Amino acid sequence: MMALPFLVLGATVAMGTSDASAQNFFERLFGVHRYERDDNSYDRRDYGEQPAPQPRTPRKPVRISGPTYRAYKPDLLVRVDFTPIIKAEHETTFQPSLQASGFEEARANLADFNLYATKDVAKALNDYYSKNPDFIWVSGFGPNSRAKEALRVLGEAASYGLNPADYAVTVPSVAFSVDDMADRMRELTRFEVELSARVLRYVHDAYDGRVAPDRMSEYYDLPVKPLDMVAALTDLSHTFEVREYLEAEHPRAPQYQQLRTELAALRDSPEKDIVVRPDLLLKPGGSDPDFPKILELISLKADDAFKAQYGTLLEENATNETYSDDLVPLIKAAQKANGLSADGVIGRRTVRALAGESNAAKIAKVTLALEEMRWLPHTLGDQYVFINEPAYRVTFTKGGQQILSMRAVVGRPANQTTFFYDQIEEVVFNPYWGVPQSIIVNEMLPRLVNDPGYLDRAGYEVTDMKGNRIPSAAIDWGRYGTHIPYNVRQVPSDDNALGELKILFPNKHAIYMHDTPAKSLFKRDTRAFSHGCVRLQEPRQMAAAVLDTSVDAIAAKLKQGHTSQKVPVKIPVYVAYFTAWPDADGKMQFYDDVYGRDARLSEAMLKTDAARVPVSEEVSGAIEKADNSAGSKL
């Protein structure tokens, strides 16, 4: 699921190219010019006599499909059954406090209290209060300082990109009648359990996020963090440092705080006056009403040198909606000045570089980034590798400082790079490339059916499941479907799809970082071309960083042929997806949603909002049934 550009193969085969053109295509695809001998030649050193021609079985169209996206199903609410609390009996040695006695006397009022929560929160409430019949949030006849501090924190949830409505609590009135203490105790007891329920929801959301990403797709592989809600209530019952406790449940990584700061700044900033629609696509000769805005933005951002060369041209065409040929050099110069490929085509990346995104779009991306950070470990570590897929960039941080940053190529939209984290364990030099089954089935078989000896001539080795070498020409490739009982690997070479080294963090997705012979792709602004693995612009530098050695040492190691070396200390690696992310200087950068995951996460968050609105059990059941029905049709 990586390396050379196989992506066009399916289209080539589907269009029915001639044998000659297909041959030329595969030469470009696999580097045949280096390896392929005359069609009639055969390497007897490996296999002995050339195998007899094999009968050819017509190949049925088959394909191994990757992960898909699913309709998101949030946790639905249930009405909390307080029976375990009401019927709980305590040992006679239990000495209740004044508040505890009041709670015990009033707990029967919970029987008809319609409080809705997720199943885990409902269980935690019953487990805690059945064993601890005491108030956490009430002292005397009103909310205590602990409760007031908790309410303030819950009210500030928006500063973390959370929805304050999720944590709303009905607060007892300040005024009450001493002649009707039964009503007051009913009100306080219900306030007690409702605040505990909302605090637990907040703790969960801060610690592990509002959305369970793995429910959206197998392109997410992020473990649920264990959370002991009973322990959380116990801790809160013994501390008055409620703010510190609740805020400590959020990620502690500096990037999380930088995202919060950016969110606050964006909310305080007025929307920009010059707004260009983000999907603008304008080529020389075309016209568009937004083109004068592009020229105005170029003029506003231009330095003196740029204005000296293009100022007159900008003034003369200030209101021109036609992108004429004489303006192409101006546009190319503006693209180059903004770090883009100077192709003269005004598209999404050019618009974003010149106009930026609207505040609303940035707020949305930062809010999603805060949620995505809650899926990761509480801290990223003292040293780690961070791969941000939408940025097409890999960085290495050590001692809290980013010491390495380079361009990367990630999976194309049809073969997306998964969002997960793991640990780097090993560097392999002059590697073999084990061709994934999906590539063998989807992209190699169309040729192998008609040219079974191709792999023998092209620098690949074929083995059976026992590891025995098998001539490719001796296999009737057309008889197999989505399961091929052979392994295929490309031998180390200058044309090897993995280049001169790969960096392993073993995982079930078979994703790793590696070199590539296709260096020209790093010059492009959009770099989603692989089968899922991550290609590095400077692989020797990254190998030196994770092995804690020098680039010269890496060069010496490469001269030793096919070998490997374990890293001295396993290093966390985050293969992540953030369309808003701070750079090394703390400046927020925004990126295209290359895989469309922001839209899916936004939808999941909206569904979570809807699911958290209290409804009757009948309505809740109907919603769940409808979701199950919708999911079965996808």
Name the residue ranges covered by the structural domains of the chain. Answer: 6-60+439-490, 78-210+223-252, 291-357
For residues 80 and 164, the answer to whether their CB atoms sit within 8 Å is no
Segment among 269-278, 340-349, 596-605 with least mean pLDDT: 269-278
Average pLDDT, the chain: 86
Question: What pLDDT score does 51 carry?
Answer: 57
pLDDT band of 271, cuts 50, 70, 90:
confident
Question: What pLDDT score does 54 carry?
Answer: 59
Question: What pLDDT score does 16 carry?
Answer: 38
The 8-class DSSP code of residue 78 comes to E
Distance between CA 549 and CA 542 in Å, rounded? 10
Segment among 17-26, 196-205, 422-431 with least mean pLDDT: 17-26
Segment among 69-73, 90-94, 132-136 with least mean pLDDT: 90-94
Mean pLDDT of 90-112: 65
Question: What pLDDT score does 8 carry?
Answer: 35
Most confidently modeled of 413-427, 486-500, 614-628?
413-427
Distance between CA 285 and CA 143 in Å, rounded? 70
The 8-class DSSP code of residue 406 comes to E
Question: What pLDDT score does 176 carry?
Answer: 73
Q: For 121-159, how does the pLDDT look when each residue is reduced to its tens digit (9 = 90+)? A: 999 999 999 999 999 999 988 999 999 999 999 999 999
Question: What pLDDT score does 627 carry?
Answer: 52
With a cut of 60, say whether residue 620 has pLDDT above it: no
Question: What pLDDT score does 90 carry?
Answer: 60
Question: What pLDDT score does 13 carry?
Answer: 35
With a cut of 50, say whether residue 2 has pLDDT above it: no
- Looking at the whole model, is its pTM more than 0.85? no
% of the chain surpassing 70 pLDDT: 85
Mean pLDDT of 307-312: 91
pLDDT band of 371, cuts 50, 70, 90:
very high
Termini Cα distance of the chain: 25
User: Which residue has 């364990």 as its token pair?
Assistant: 425
Cβ atoms within 10 Å of 310's Cβ, excluding its own: 20
Mean pLDDT of 244-262: 98
The 8-class DSSP code of residue 217 comes to B
pLDDT band of 39, cuts 50, 70, 90:
very low
Q: For 416-450, how does the pLDDT look when each residue is reduced to its tens digit (9 = 90+)? A: 999 999 999 999 999 999 999 889 988 898 889 88
pLDDT band of 355, cuts 50, 70, 90:
confident
Question: What pLDDT score does 274 carry?
Answer: 85
Mean pLDDT of 163-178: 88
Question: What pLDDT score does 520 carry?
Answer: 94
Mean pLDDT of 583-591: 94
Mean pLDDT of 283-308: 92
With a cut of 50, say whether residue 56 has pLDDT above it: yes
Residue 94 has which token pair? Answer: 């239990």
Mean pLDDT of 173-196: 86
Segment among 54-58, 230-234, 590-594 with least mean pLDDT: 54-58
Question: What pLDDT score does 74 carry?
Answer: 97
Q: For 464-483, how does the pLDDT look when each residue is reduced to its tens digit (9 = 90+)? A: 999 899 999 999 998 888 88
Question: Would you list the DSSP string of 558-574?
Answer: HTT-SEEEEEEEEEEEE
Question: What pLDDT score does 46 carry?
Answer: 52
User: Which residue has 């003029």 as its token pair?
Assistant: 299
The single-letter code of the amino acid at 518 is A
Question: What pLDDT score does 495 carry?
Answer: 86
With a cut of 70, say whether residue 276 has pLDDT above it: yes
Question: What pLDDT score does 624 carry?
Answer: 53
pLDDT band of 21, cuts 50, 70, 90:
very low
Segment among 16-20, 158-162, 261-265, 269-273 with least mean pLDDT: 16-20
Q: For 232-252, how does the pLDDT look when each residue is reduced to its tens digit (9 = 90+)? A: 999 999 999 999 999 999 999
Question: What pLDDT score does 149 carry?
Answer: 97
For the CA atoms of 493, 495, 497, 498, the dihedral, rounded to the nearest 10 degrees, stands at 50
Distances (CA, A) of 403 to 385, 399, 481, 541, 586: 10, 9, 47, 11, 14
Distance between CA 480 and CA 470 in Å, rounded? 16
CA angle 347, 352, 356 (to 5 degrees): 155
Greater model confidence, 620 or 597:
597
Segment among 245-254, 259-268, 344-353 with least mean pLDDT: 344-353
